[in-house]
Amino acid sequence: MPAMHQGLSERLICLHDEIKSDGDLTELSRVAVALYDERTDIIKTFIHSSDSESPLDHSSAKLASLPSLKELALTGGRRTINDLEAVAESGQEHAGRLVSCGYLSSYTVPMGSKGQFVGFLFLNSVNKGFFTPKVIQRLRPYAELIAQVVMRELDTVRMMHAAVKVIRQVSTVRDEETGAHLARMARYSRLIATRMADRHGLSDEFIEYLFQFTPLHDVGKISVPDHILFKPGKLSPEEFEVMKAHVVRGLEIIDMMAFDFGMHSLAYFTVLRNVIAYHHEALDGSGYPHGLRGDEIPLEARIAAVADVFDALTSERPYKTAWSNQRAYDLLLDLAGTKFDPDCVAALIDSRHDISEIQARFEQTVFD
């Protein structure tokens, strides 16, 4: 069998081509997948294959604010809109953006896995009235196929998280990385990346994987003994060497898993490796383990570093009280350009409204 190492975006484009090769379906002009984050009720664009312009990059919304989609998520029903212009005229914003890019009809399928709603598949055509019963019948296996391909890929990431959780528990190392810290830090990273997306050309697919991978940044800490990990004062040079080793150990663990989990076939596996390897580097070269400088540090690691430190500052720890957000923003601004990427810091602070909401949502919950 020929090897396949494509990202999901490329897979979706191939599947879209395959659908259009069916004589009755050549006018299917757009296939898009949005994913749902149950814990914040946010539905967010993920990947798409669009024949004409893409109308909806970097979009997200609370599912509760979209009653007709929420209904589909609850019931598993499908929605056919054969005249998007009429809907757009009634003031619906997303419909307006679709129409402005030439898409005139839409068919929406909720995706579920093991009884849980995970997102939507959106199909569009430039033809009004495209989604006839016959076309819908013909599309059915393709819609299921796309859902399976997407969910299988997401399974891989979910299972890595499960494995790391079990490893943490079995290794009996107490854990500073509480669930709430990881849940917040992943969402701060997503906020920062979304704000930087246009300027840095970040795809929604990249942003989603960054969100999913950042909670694994400290997996190597299971190799650091408690008396070093939780030492209140400054570490001795020897202790600091042990602490630094958690980065390398984290890479070893991830690489061990990578082959059997099929991670090497994930186009974004390097994002995970970079987050683990470089989240303690600093812009001026004073970080560890490599002392990289500036752009030598991959963007995903610069984002994770800001998200990680901001959450550590604003959290209570055994040895410190929680700082106010403002005090933490001020420190990050002081260190922007020397330790932290100024763009990442600015993107974080520009998201202050969303950050407060995340803090309220994940105050004391556990990331399980």
Annotated catalytic residues are: 221
d(CA 226, CA 174): 7
SS3 285: coil
Strands 60-62 and 105-113: unpaired
Q: Is residue 62 at the binding interface for its own copies, with CB under 8 A as the rule?
A: no
Residue of 205, 207, 194 lying closest to 344 (CA atoms): 194
Per CB under 8 A, the list member of 18, 53, 198, 295 interacting with its own copies is 18
Q: For residues 76 and 337, which CB has a smaller minimum distance to its own copies in the complex? A: 76
Quote the least distance from Cβ 192 to its own copies, whole Å: 27
The alpha-carbon radius of gyration of the chain (Å, integer) is: 22
Q: Is residue 39 at the binding interface for its own copies, with CB under 8 A as the rule?
A: no
Q: Is residue 115 at the binding interface for its own copies, with CB under 8 A as the rule?
A: yes
Q: Is residue 133 at the binding interface for its own copies, with CB under 8 A as the rule?
A: no
End-to-end CA distance of the chain: 38
Q: For residues 118 and 355, which CB has a smaller minimum distance to its own copies in the complex? A: 118
SS3 76: coil
Q: Are 56 and 32 in contact (CB under 8 A)?
A: yes
- Only one residue has tokens 């819609």, namely 143
Amino acid at 195: R
Q: For residues 148 and 324, which CB has a smaller minimum distance to its own copies in the complex? A: 148
Quote the least distance from Cβ 5 to its own copies, whole Å: 8
Q: Is residue 110 at the binding interface for its own copies, with CB under 8 A as the rule?
A: yes
Structure tokens at 312: 């550590």
How many residues of this chain bind its own copies (CB under 8 A)?
50
Q: Are 57 and 204 in contact (CB under 8 A)?
A: yes
Helical H segments across 130-281, by residue range:
133-170, 179-200, 204-213, 226-229, 237-260, 269-278
**Of 3-11, 33-41, 235-243, 304-312, which segment contacts its own copies by CB under 8 A?**
3-11
Quote the least distance from Cβ 191 to its own copies, whole Å: 25
Question: From residue 223 to residue 262, what is the string marking binding to its own copies with x (rule CB under 8 A)?
Answer: ------------------------------x--xx-xxxx
Quote the least distance from Cβ 166 to its own copies, whole Å: 5
Quote the least distance from Cβ 292 to its own copies, whole Å: 27
Per CB under 8 A, the list member of 93, 128, 145, 330 interacting with its own copies is 145
Interaction residues for its own copies, span 310-349 (CB under 8 A): none
Residue of 276, 321, 318 lying closest to 300 (CA atoms): 276
**What is the helix, strand, coil percentage profile of the chain, to 5?**
55, 15, 30
| Contacts to its own copies by CB under 8 A | 1-5, 18-19, 22, 73, 76, 110, 112-117, 137, 140-142, 144-145, 148-149, 151-152, 155-156, 158-159, 161-163, 165-167, 169-171, 222, 253, 256-257, 259-262, 264-265
